[in-house]
Structures are given as C-alpha cells and as structure tokens.
Amino acid sequence: MKRIQIIDTFRGLTIISMVLFHLFYNINYYWTLNFYNGTIFNKIWQLSIAVSFFIISGITSSFLNPKKNIKRGIITSLIGFSITFITYIFAKDQLIIWGVLNGLGLSMIITGLMQKSINPKLWPIFILAFTFSYKVPAGLFYNSEFLKGLYQANLFPIGFPSFDFYSNDYFPLIPWLFAFLAGLSLGKFLKEKNFYDFDIKENLLGKIGRYSMPIYLTHQIILYPLVSLIYKLTL
C-alpha cells in the first residue's frame, strides 16, 4: 500500500504525544506534577491519545482488504497478550490485561469480518455511540439486573469488568470498537471525497508515524529506567 503522508503525520504526532504523556507519568511517580497528577488536563490528554490511535488505525483499515485486516488484528492481539505475560512476570504492579493492543487487535479482526457492510456515512453515528457508551466499563449499567449479570461474569473483553478486575491499561470492545469503526467509515468517506488527492509532502512526523509500533513497545523500556536513574542520582 502506498504511504499516505497525512495519515503517517497524524500517527507520528499521536505517538510523540503518547511518549510525552508517559514521560510525565514516570516523572510524576517520583516528583508530583500538579498540572498532571489526577487533573482534567491529564484525563483529556490521555483520552485524546487513545481516541487518535483507534481512529487512525480504523482509517488505515479502510485501505486494506478483509484478509489483511484479520491478519493484522491477530498479530496485534498476540503482541498484546505477550505484554500481559511480561507485565505479569516482571511488573505485577503494572499488570496490563486487555490493553490497547488487544483492543485494537480485536477491533481489526471484527472490522475484517464486516468492513464491506460499513457505510461511509455512519462515522458520526459511531462517534456518538463511543461517546454514550464510554462509561459502560466503569459500571454505568450496574443497576440493570440483566447487565449486572454481565459485570458479575467479568466479561472484561466486551466492556463489563467485575468490581475486582484491575488492569493498568484497559481497552474493551465497548466503547473502543465504536472509535475504530468511526475511523473505518471516516476513511471510506474521505476516499469517496478524494480527500487524499492533495496529500502532503514527506516529513519528520510522518517518518516517526511509520514506526509507531516499535516506538510503542520500546519507549517505556527506555524512559522508566532513565527517570529512575535521574531520581536516584538526585537523592
């Protein structure tokens, strides 16, 4: 597939935002940052990164055939499960169960199975669905007897975790599949409108965006020890 610079650029901008967010997360672990620690700014920043990743990945899926999307989803999911295994063995206090790669992976697989039937004009509906279902994993419908059973069954991949479920990074199908489908349908819509005909020139952000997966997998391996070392040197 030909590289589309505008997509790579937005992906690069998002990956840089994520690296900076996690850098401040690590710093805040040792030195409290008032602008970051538990603030609305923190939550909005974190949400903007996650939503951007799902929408951009959904847009990318609109350029791939179903078979490639399913294969891409399986590989992404396996990497996600490996992160769960690694955090369980080496960093239980940072345990990740059904993190962003699992959420993206399953969304890719589901998209591969149904993408031909997704109407390009549905992207605003998917955004609304994401917005209204965002609080479902937080127990929004726990008062409903039927849905209460889903929470108690700990169906966390879908978005109905039990009260004792914990993960340091959690992206279930509800609401994140809707964000992915918003990206998929938006990608189709933009293709219909010939949006990509004016594509921008190759740039540094675009080059960074091409390596978003390696950066995602390795950045904390570098940042966390570095911040820890600096903290110990200042004691």
Cα radius of gyration rounded to whole Å, the chain: 19
Q: How many residues are there in the chain? A: 235
176 lies in some domain: yes
Distances (CA, A) of 71 to 57, 112, 225: 14, 9, 34
Residue 140 placed within a domain: yes
pLDDT in tens, 21-56: 999 999 999 999 998 988 999 999 999 999 999 999
Q: What are 160's strand-pairing partners?
A: 155
User: Which residues span the domain enclosing 175?
Assistant: 68-184
pLDDT in the model for residue 63 = 94
Q: Is residue 59 part of a domain?
A: no
Tens-place pLDDT, residues 210-234? 999 999 999 999 999 999 999 999 8
Q: Is residue 109 within 8 Å of 70, Cβ to Cβ? A: yes
* Number of folded domains that form the chain: 1
Taking only the tens place, the pLDDT of each residue in 111-167 is 999 998 999 999 999 999 999 999 999 987 777 777 888 899 999 999 999 989 999
Which residue is it, tokens 């602008």?
35
196 in a structural domain: no
SS (H, E, C) 143-191: CCHHHHHHHHCCECCCCECCCCCCCCCCCCHHHHHHHHHHHHHHHHHHH
Token representation of residue 53? 């990743």
The DSSP 8-state label assigned to residue 128 in this structure reads H
* Farthest-apart Cα atoms in the chain, separation: 59
Domain for residue 116, yes or no?
A: yes
In this structure, is residue 57 part of a structural domain?
A: no
**122: which DSSP letter?**
G
Residue 202, SS3?
A: coil
Beta-bridge mates of residue 155: 160
Q: Write down the residue that tokens 């080059």 correspond to.
A: 207
Mean pLDDT over 178-207 rounds to 92
pLDDT in tens, 83-118: 999 999 998 888 999 999 999 999 999 999 999 899
Provide the token pair at 137: 């994993």
Q: What is the pTM of this model?
A: 0.93
118 within a domain of the structure (yes/no): yes
Domain-embedded: residue 50: no
